Amino acid sequence: MSLKLQILKAKIHLFSKTGKIGKLHSSFNLSSNGINLKNILICFPTDEASFRVAAYSFRKVQETILKETNLIFLVPQKYRKLLHFNYGRIFTYQLKKEHDMIFSEKEVRNIIKNTKFDMIIDLNSKFNLSLSQLISLIPSKYKVGFHSEFSDWFYNIQFNISKDSFLEKGYSQIKSLLKTV
């Protein structure tokens, strides 16, 4: 096991013991009638290639799937100009690469603190501790993300995409989930 992986595991364990990672609802029921989602937070990827795929995949999600839902998008500041949605609210944050840490704007902290999210969706296919930690601290019954070695700590709904599969397939699985709720 690499040193970087061991450090990441140690950080997650420490964060869970000190309360810097929030509690996760581990069980819930999805009925065939669906659930009423009023507010959804969608966290866009931190790398440009994945960001572009996500922006294209979710460009019509409110028009076609989530017509009555309030969507809030959390977007890395450096990609804000690449997102051309005419629905939802878009908030940005700074990602400091050298420490892989998120520095959120005051506005982002306020919206997160003052909004009750029914679902949070992380569109990052690669694990990002800072973003996952931020998501874990936001109360929400449903937290959706991609499967990784650490995803069980942060997401109670996980999608698995193989290394040779396309990212669009994973986004399609998430949109399919949204159609059923």
Give me the pLDDT at residue 34, please.
62
Give me the pLDDT at residue 4, please.
72
The CATH superfamily of 38-180 is: Glycogen Phosphorylase B; (3.40.50.2000)
Contact status, residue 8 vs residue 129, Cβ threshold 8 Å: yes
Question: Taking residues 68-84, what's their average pLDDT?
Answer: 91
Give me the pLDDT at residue 47, please.
92
> Taking the complete model, does pTM exceed 0.85, yes or no?
no
Strand partners, 73: 42, 90
102-161 residue pLDDT tens: 666 667 777 777 889 999 999 999 988 888 888 888 889 899 999 988 888 899 999 998
Q: Which residue matches tokens 């999210």?
A: 117
52-66 residue pLDDT tens: 999 999 998 888 788
Structure tokens at 22: 């929030």
Give me the pLDDT at residue 180, please.
82
21-49 residue pLDDT tens: 666 665 555 555 567 789 999 999 999 99
What confidence category does residue 6 fall into, taking pLDDT thresholds of 50, 70 and 90?
Answer: confident
> How many other C-beta atoms lie within 10 A of the C-beta of residue 166?
11
CA distances from 108 to 25, 47, 81, 124 (A): 23, 20, 18, 19
Give me the pLDDT at residue 152, please.
86
Contact status, residue 135 vs residue 144, Cβ threshold 8 Å: no
- Single-letter amino acid code for the residue at 135: I
* DSSP element (H, E) containing 18: helix 3-18
Give me the pLDDT at residue 28, please.
54
Task: Give one DSSP letter per residue of 150-170, joined into a string.
Answer: TGGGT-SEEE---TTS-HHHH
* DSSP element (H, E) containing 145: strand 142-146
Q: Give me the helix-helix angle, 48-57 and 167-180, nearest 10°.
A: 40
Contact status, residue 146 vs residue 161, Cβ threshold 8 Å: yes
Least confident of 2-16, 30-44, 165-179: 2-16
